[in-house]
């Protein structure tokens, strides 16, 4: 409660803090989702074909993790600044369900198939499409949280 008040106080009463938190949140997801999408594009055979999906995953995974930490912390701060609004929001809970699903999927199925030596091409493509759909849904969920109150 005290933490929530302190965070809400800073974000609501300083001119730049909310804007900064939003920039970190959106910039973070751009890098996080963007780096996952690079692996997906490779799995779909659409780019970076001179390297395996597994190697691309290894290159990008540190950025993904780093960015997701920023997204989640800034997102938590934004949530804390207006808890009452989020608690009654119709879309927000769905965004959270999809986010949890996307995170679990990313570090289990997606990671496993991306790093396989010779995954069946169809499986690889399917896994990449589901990954892109999940993350795009989280982005849509975020925007709709702001529009359908």
Partner 1 sequence: MAIAHYLQNIDWLVEFSESVLAYPIVLSIHLTCIALFGGMILVTDLRLLGLTFKSLTITDVVTSLRPWKRVGGTVMIAMGLPLAACDAEKYAPNPFFWTKMITLGLIGVHALIFRPIVYSRTEELDRSPVIPTKAKVAAILSLGLWTTMFVMGRLIAYWD
* Residues in contact with partner 1 by the rule CB under 8 A: 19, 22-23, 26-27, 29-35, 37-38, 41, 46-51, 55-56, 59-60, 63, 135-136, 139-140, 142-144, 146-148
Assess contact for 137 and 83: CB atoms under 8 A: no
Nearest distance in Å: CB 116, partner 1: 18
Residue placing its CB nearer to partner 1 in the complex, 5 or 128: 128
In whole angstroms, give the CA distance from residue 142 to residue 29: 11
Q: Rounded CA gap, 20 and 26, in Å?
A: 10
| Nearer of residues 60 and 124 to partner 1, judged by Cβ | 60
* Nearest distance from C-beta of residue 16 to partner 1, angstroms: 9
Nearer to partner 1, 27 or 119 (CB): 27
| Residue 122 Cβ vs partner 1, minimum distance, rounded to whole Å | 22
User: Is 88 or 147 the residue whose CB approaches partner 1 more closely?
Assistant: 147
Q: 29: exposed, middle or buried (C-beta count within 10 Å: 0-12, 13-18, 19+)?
A: buried
68 Cβ contact list (under 8 Å, min separation 6): 28, 32, 103
In the chain, helix, strand, coil percent, each to 5? 85, 0, 15
Question: Measured from the CB atom, is 7 or 37 closer to partner 1?
Answer: 37
Closest distance between partner 1 and the C-beta of residue 44, in Å? 11
């Amino acid at each position: 409660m005290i933490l929530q008040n302190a965070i809400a106080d800073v974000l609501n009463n300083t001119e730049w803090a909310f804007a900064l938190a939003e920039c970190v949140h959106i910039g973070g997801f751009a890098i996080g989702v963007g780096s996952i999408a690079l692996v997906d594009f490779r799995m779909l055979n659409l780019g970076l074909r001179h390297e395996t999906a597994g190697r691309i995953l290894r290159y990008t995974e540190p950025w993904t993790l780093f960015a997701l930490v920023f997204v989640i912390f800034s997102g938590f701060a934004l949530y804390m600044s207006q808890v009452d609004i989020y608690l009654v929001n119709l879309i927000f809970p769905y965004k959270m369900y999809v986010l949890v699903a996307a995170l679990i999927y990313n570090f289990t199925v997606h990671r496993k198939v991306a790093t396989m030596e010779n995954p069946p091409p169809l499986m690889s493509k399917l896994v990449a499409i589901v990954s892109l759909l999940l993350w795009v849904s989280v982005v849509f969920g975020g925007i709709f949280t702001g529009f359908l109150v």
